[in-house]
Amino acid sequence: MNRRRINCAAGMVLLAVANGLTLGTPQWTPTPTKNLQVLEKAINGRELVATMRGFTRGLGVRCQHCHVFRGDDPDDLNAFDFASDEKASKQTARTMLRMLFAINNDYLKNVGEPPTAGNTKVTCYSCHRGEKRPLTDRPDRQ
């Protein structure tokens, strides 16, 4: 089950890569992870950064949308308290991830053709399309 969650997160990252993101070597190395509640606790730093980049691309946000920032330069990743649960949007992200895992691993498990290796059928981008709120939730869209 945990391997499925990593595969789901990897699928989101692959979607971001398909949209022009090149992962390469991260310029910043994360500190050891703390307070992971949905993602695999054993996720390595490179995978975690790639997963978070996929979230930022899928929702059109930056790190400070979910994570507490205590500094002057939002590009200084050392000024973030990534473990903090202070922001409600972080809890929302966890809930949405659980929903995504359930959709892909339970509800769509035997529906249609299986996704290609490393991909998932539904990702954050499927609904958000680069927006903070899903497009189906926007009053200006029908």
Model confidence at 11, pLDDT cuts 50, 70, 90, reads low
Which of the two residues, 17 and 34, has the higher pLDDT score? 34
Task: Please name every residue paired with 80 in a beta bridge, in sequence order, or none if there are none.
Answer: 69
Percent residues over pLDDT 90 in the chain: 20
- Whether pTM exceeds 0.85: no
Distance in angstroms between the alpha carbons of the first and the last residue of the chain: 36
Q: Is the pLDDT of residue 142 over 60?
A: no
Average pLDDT over residues 113-141: 76
Domains and CATH numbers, the chain: 2-137 (1.10.468)
Q: Is the pLDDT of residue 47 over 60?
A: yes
**φ, ψ for residue 90 (rounded to 5)?**
-70, -40
**Helix ranges (DSSP H) in 1-142:** 2-18, 45-59, 88-102, 124-128
**Nearest Cα to Cα of residue 29 among 17, 51, 40, 44:** 44
